[in-house]
A and B are shown apart, each in its own frame.
Chain A
Amino acid sequence: MERPPLIEFRNVVKRFGERTILDGVSFRIYEGEVTTIIGLSGTGKSVTLKHIIGLLRPDAGEIRYRGTPLQTMSRAQWDAYIGRISYMFQNNALFDAMTVYENVALPLKRTTRLPRREIERRAMARIEQTELTEVAHKYPSEISGGMQKRAALARALVTDPQVVLFDEPTTGQDPIRKNAILGMIAEYKKKVGFTAVLISHEIPDVFFISNRILVLWDGRIAFEGTPEEMASFDHPFRDEILRSLQNLREDITGVYSARHFKMRYQTEFGRGGPEETYALLVFSFDNVDEIDREVSPRAAQETLRALGTYIGKHFGAVGGFTTRQTIGEFITILPFSDLEEARRILERFVADFQGEGLPRLAEEFRREIPTERCFDFAISAGMAQGKPLIELESVIEFARYGKQPIAAFSCGLRR
């Protein structure tokens, strides 16, 4: 039996003048889940959230909360409904004449009968949680954009709402705080069991905390399902996601983070048929532990970074994608390649690596070790053919099994 939705949109239409923003939007939001709405800018994501909180009303269609249309709710029902929801605005909407503390405490002061000390305790707890203690008595204009965002987040969560609507909560945050905010949402959901509706451009990071994904495209819902199902989503928006991942990789070192690699893997092969194949290459830096121990952790890391960058950029140019699997190991996937093709690509890589990659690596290594010391290192590679139906870990294991040395460096000599 299908679960009853908490919030349901039924053919919602919203026009601003001549422009139709939502053109028959229908979707469901389930209790206790994190639902993320993604889509290009200007596709009506914020407009959708504003309909849920009652800031906008649909021109046609209806929105239901636990089966009751919002339009037919009595005043008491509406108050009870809106009392369970909190909204974090895209541009924060902090009161600029109030301090951060006053902003966070405001909903408690005005809508509850809590004693002053309890209000202070709850507000300060949220402020501490969002790392704003030092700026609690500053005005929004005196703090950074990222801090303003966190102040808005603290204000949205201070009343312990059952449903929270987040309009781009991580925009403008540094990577550490971005992950902290997403982590906070996930943790809060686990602890309180609230329902969250999130608008985010942080693809694929949001997928890891989302139970369901909605894609808004051209005023309609183009996709509704789990992040895993999203991999088989055949739509122009999927290409946009791939492009953004591509940019993300190229901007850094050519090597994906584990999360981005997994996302790319799912996006590439999630909708693939059982006969689709890919080649997987494993590269290992064999004596990284020894260098780490005997020379310095920095020497090991810098050399590995240089190796990863070389592998990532080389295979990225032919459509592959790479991640760091373990401390001294990289894996590369060559989509839609068979073993024969992968072997030819690897041979070219080995030739290039020995010609220009290894000297560069050796130079990086020498810079980190004392001149009188002499150290060796070796790089091995293995390959295997994979299919979407086979566990990725099994394919990696198989590639490891067939590893062979492809290059070595011996105290200034290379083989």
Chain B
Amino acid sequence: MTRQPIPAEAPEGASPGPRPIDLPGVSALGRFGLRLNASLGALAIFFLHAAARMLHWKQIPEIVHQIYFIGAKSASIVALVGFFTGMVLGLQLVYVMNKFGAVGFLGTAVALSLIRELGPVLTAIMITARAGSAMAAEIGIQRISEQIDALQTMRIDPLGFLVSPRLAAGLVSFPILTAIFDLIGILGGYVSGVILLGANAGSYLYRIDESVDWSDVRGGFIKSLVFAGIVITICCFQGFFTHLRTDSHGSKSVSLSTTSAVVLSCVWILIADYVVTSFLL
């Protein structure tokens, strides 16, 4: 059988196919979109797996331990940050409100700012810095030293053993710490606005009582629960998949995972804050 020669050019009359358009910016955006989609999908699956394994009696001792680590041990730093945040708010708002003769509304402004926005966001960021980074590093080290593989070989679900108790502890600790932040922050506003700058104490407390609604508190708690899910999932995810990093290996990968965990958590806290707020309002 003889082989037909392949024509060098398209036969006459045939329409040429569409020429590919080279748009580097668009393809880069597409790649980023696909990567983001895959990462968010992986995070969601990771979260759901961990959440599904939270409610088991064998988890209770570890959940209590994690509440102590995430919650109790973060309380002092959260209280300190809350107090000074409240003081700064009081200070700034007294000067601003003085211009409009609205110092009487200082309590309203401080309390609502803290309960609806600053409390949940700053608490989540503080916990990320204190406990989230530690989680990412601890799980990362367990990954590179094959401790997670060892769990698998012992038929112990690594997600259930390492992530679920942290997630449960986060869901308990975040709202409590947020409440502590809010209360101490309001106290800080009182110290700077009323005690140091002379605003009326009765007006400060009355306005808080009058303006803060249950829906504000509920909204703050919803945010803190969402942030708990985000922070714990991102930090544990970064540690858990330390070994899959392509930019580094070993201890270097643990340090990079820890950095990524903190940075990504902070970014996603702010993004989620906007999204949740827009739903709540």
A residues lining the B interface (CB < 8 Å): 50, 53-55, 79, 82-83, 85-87, 89, 91, 93-97, 106-107, 109-111, 159
Contacts and interface: CB of A to CB of B under 8 A. Distances in A.
Given A93-B147, A96-B145, A111 B154 contact: yes
B161 interface: yes
B147 A111 contact: no
B146 A110 contact: no
Contact of A93 (B58, B146, B161): B146
A91 B58 CA distance: 28
Given A53-B153, A93-B150, A159-B154, 13 more contacts: A55-B149, A55-B153, A82-B155, A86-B153, A89-B150, A93-B145, A94-B150, A95-B142, A95-B150, A96-B145, A106-B156, A110-B58, A110-B156
11 contacts: A53-B152, A54-B152, A79-B155, A83-B155, A85-B153, A87-B150, A93-B150, A110-B155, A110-B156, A110-B161, A111-B156
Contacts of B150: 87, 89, 93-95
A82 B152 CA distance: 9
Contact of B146 (A85, A89, A97, A107): A89
Residues of B in contact with A, size category: 10 to 19
Contacts of B155: 79, 82-83, 107, 110-111
A91 B145 contact: yes
Contact of A95 (B58, B147, B153): B147
Contacts of B154: 86, 106-107, 110-111, 159
A159 B149 CA distance: 17
Contacts of A109: 58
B141, B142, B147, B156 interface centre (most CB from chain A within 10 Å): B147
A111 B147 CA distance: 17
A95 B154 CA distance: 13
Nearest to B138: A97
Contacts of A94: 147, 150
Q: Which 7 A-B pairs have the closest CB atoms?
A: A93-B150, A93-B146, A87-B153, A107-B154, A110-B156, A111-B155, A53-B153
Contacts of A159: 154
Contacts of A106: 154, 156
Given A93-B147, A96-B145, A55 B156 contact: no
Contacts of A96: 141, 145, 147
A94 B141 CA distance: 12
Contacts of B153: 53, 55, 82, 85-87
A221 B124 CA distance: 55
A170 B155 CA distance: 25
A109 B156 CA distance: 10
Interface in B133-151: 138, 141-142, 145-147, 149-150
A159 B154 CA distance: 9
B152, B153, B156 interface centre (most CB from chain A within 10 Å): B153
Contacts of A111: 154-156
Contacts of A110: 58, 154-156, 161
Contacts of A83: 155
B54 to A, nearest CB: 15
Nearest to B141: A96
Nearest to B154: A107
A376 B197 CA distance: 109
B156 A91 contact: no
A43 B180 CA distance: 57
Interface in B211-266: none
A384 B156 CA distance: 62
A73 to B, nearest CB: 14
A111 B156 CA distance: 7
Nearest to A111: B155
Nearest to A159: B154
B165 to A, nearest CB: 12
A94 B153 CA distance: 13
Contacts of B147: 93-96
B122 to A, nearest CB: 30
Nearest to A109: B58
Nearest to B145: A93
Contacts of A93: 145-147, 149-150
Contacts of A79: 155
Contacts of B152: 53-55
A169 B154 CA distance: 18
B142 to A, nearest CB: 8
A110 B151 CA distance: 10
A85 B152 CA distance: 11
Nearest to A50: B149
Contacts of B58: 109-110
Contacts of B138: 97
Contacts of A54: 152
Nearest to A82: B155
A89 B150 CA distance: 8
Nearest to A90: B146
B141, B142, B150 interface centre (most CB from chain A within 10 Å): B150
Nearest to A107: B154
A112 to B, nearest CB: 10
Nearest to A165: B153
A36 B149 CA distance: 22
A79 B153 CA distance: 11
B52 to A, nearest CB: 15
Contacts of B161: 110
A60 to B, nearest CB: 22
A228 B147 CA distance: 38
A142 to B, nearest CB: 16
A87 B152 CA distance: 10
